[in-house]
Amino acid sequence: MELRIHVTDLAFGLFVTDLDRPWLDTPFLLQGFLLETQQQLDDLVEYCQYVDVDLARSTGGASRWRYLADRYANPVPEQTANATRPLITIQNEQQVQAERRERLNILRELRHLFTFWRRRQYASSHPEPARDEQIILYDDSCSLEQELPQATQIHRAAEEQLDNFVDAIRADLQPRTEAIHEVVDSMVDSIVRNPNALIWLTQLRQRDRYSYSHAVDAAVYLLAFGRHLGYGKQDLHNLGFAGLMLDIGKLRLPDQLLHREGRFSPGEFMLMKTHVQHSLDILNQLDEVDPDVIDTVARHHERHDGSGYPMKLRGEAIGIFGSMAGIVDCFTALISERAYSSSKTIYEALQLLYKWSERYFHPALVEQFAQCIGIFPVGALVELSCGDVGIVISQSRTRRLKPKVLLILGPDKLPHARPQILDLMSNPTTVANIPINIRRELPLGSYGIDPAEYFQG
């Protein structure tokens, strides 16, 4: 059901389908979107007096917004209308608060599993007691569209600074760590504002196993993972810096080993494993590297069952940052082209991580990582049950199979006149009242679709 309502009646969760002025005269890049940020609301109030909303596509479906249908179909005195809204608002707020409390409890329990090791490690290098770690539940402060221009510049700067860092290491020069720290700070700020933008950019580029820009991917996913788990900015910085440095020691290995066709022989694998120590040697030559960064790099090849290297640590003894890095490093390898294996889709990679949990990776962390990026993550090309094809542009933290999808092609696989956003959380249906869901993930490039065309100038 569509209504034209005054902007003063807008509320988060409403799906806006049209404006009282041309879309090109406003900051909104796409026609049709779910209202979910204060910036979107402020822009609507500034540019419009009335907007059209689709109650069926709004969060919770038409039943949640019945008061709007009643008000605009049968106008009632303002006092009565105002008496209706607070009850719904209070119920929504109560539900949100209950979900936040549940999430906080899950994250506290997860951190508690690693407390003993982390406190022991902290005490070994610091005389004062370990700090109590605050859990921060971040909310997106801007939309994907708003963050993408800044994220694009940050992503390019990260690759450029990493290239400079690598060149300095190869030339046996002292690299400028200040520049790396600055770009990591920028990455942290972008991830905090909206993690989907940098994740989107990692999905767009061609993945080359031997490119050190793979390290930027690892940093982005580690930062998003850390944000999801509620870490503060200093911890996020350490995770981002560690992500860039995970494989820096491979610079000390022979090129023919890195470009080896097929699987390694036992001797070659032993040589490959030395890259961890080489990474630590490089980090120890740098100024002001946080111990958490060194620990994360040192432990990202340890495995939950003790089968990893170099120290054969197991379980929570690996530490939460090292365990997170191990998951991210494996995940980014799986979705990259390798000499002995083609790249996996995000869905396939997550399925393998689930399969290997308990044995290689901490099960609770694998579950949280899947929640972090979504079964169908930002940038994934998907086909819906109704036949439409689109690009995933945003996640639902609690309903991983119901992201927002930018619809590109119709059921006939011909382009839509104008791409529109479909929020699967609103439980949309076909004209025959059949629920719409994701049928499958498609390989990038299917039907000639280039995701970069839709959000990058």
What integer pLDDT is reported at residue 456 of this predicted model?
54
Can you give the C-alpha Rg of the chain in angstroms? 24
For residues 404 and 394, the answer to whether their CB atoms sit within 8 Å is yes
Measured distance CA(378)–CA(200) in Å, rounded: 6
What integer pLDDT is reported at residue 64 of this predicted model?
80
407: helix, strand or coil = strand
What integer pLDDT is reported at residue 77 of this predicted model?
47
Measured distance CA(449)–CA(4) in Å, rounded: 34
Measured distance CA(382)–CA(92) in Å, rounded: 31
* Lateral strand order in the sheet of 2-6: 2-6, 50-54, 15-19, 33-34
Nearest alpha-carbon partner for 392 in 336, 332, 345, 337: 345
**Single-letter residue type at 204:** L
For residues 345 and 380, the answer to whether their CB atoms sit within 8 Å is yes
What integer pLDDT is reported at residue 84 of this predicted model?
44
DSSP-assigned letter for residue 445 = T
Place of tokens 């396939």: 348
Measured distance CA(343)–CA(443) in Å, rounded: 10
Place of tokens 């495995």: 303
Measured distance CA(234)–CA(188) in Å, rounded: 9
User: Token digits for 208?
Assistant: 């080359």
279: helix, strand or coil = helix
Output the CA–CA distances (angstroms, integers) from residue 199 to 143, 181, 187, 241, 424, in the order listed: 13, 20, 11, 17, 20
**Is residue 423 within a helix (H) or strand (E), and if so which, with residue range?**
strand 415-423
For residues 55 and 65, the answer to whether their CB atoms sit within 8 Å is yes
* Number of CB atoms found within 10 A of residue 182's CB: 13
What integer pLDDT is reported at residue 75 of this predicted model?
52
395: helix, strand or coil = coil
Measured distance CA(57)–CA(65) in Å, rounded: 11
User: Token digits for 61?
Assistant: 């479906």
Place of tokens 């000639």: 448
Q: Give the HSE-up count for residue 331: Cα atoms under 13 Å, Cβ half-sphere.
A: 32
What integer pLDDT is reported at residue 280 of this predicted model?
96
404: helix, strand or coil = strand
Question: DSSP string spanning 26-89?
Answer: SS-SSSSEE--SHHHHHHHHHH-SEEEEETTTSTT-GGGGHHHHHHHHS---HHHHHHHHHHHH
Return the HEC string of 112-149: HHHHHHHHHHHHHHCCCCCCCCCCCCCCCCCCHHHHHH
What integer pLDDT is reported at residue 255 of this predicted model?
82
First to last CA, the chain: 34
What are the residue ranges spanned by the domains of the chain?
2-73, 144-373, 381-455
Output the CA–CA distances (angstroms, integers) from residue 151 to 168, 220, 439, in the order listed: 26, 11, 30
User: Token digits for 309?
Assistant: 């290297």
Nearest alpha-carbon partner for 223 in 373, 3, 112, 337: 373
How far from the centroid of its chain's Cα atoms is residue 164's Cα?
26
pLDDT in tens, the chain (457 residues): 788 888 888 888 898 988 888 777 787 766 788 888 887 888 888 888 889 998 888 887 787 888 888 777 655 444 444 444 444 445 556 666 777 888 888 999 898 888 766 566 555 555 444 445 689 999 888 888 789 899 999 999 999 999 999 999 988 888 889 999 999 999 999 999 999 889 888 877 654 444 555 899 999 999 999 999 999 999 999 999 999 999 999 999 888 887 777 778 888 889 999 999 999 999 999 988 999 999 999 999 999 999 999 999 999 999 999 999 999 999 998 988 665 567 788 888 999 999 999 899 999 999 999 988 887 877 788 999 999 999 988 776 656 678 889 999 999 999 988 888 888 888 888 888 888 999 988 887 889 887 777 765 4
Place of tokens 């788990």: 229
What fold, for 144-373? Answer: Hypothetical protein af1432 (1.10.3210)
For residues 110 and 364, the answer to whether their CB atoms sit within 8 Å is yes
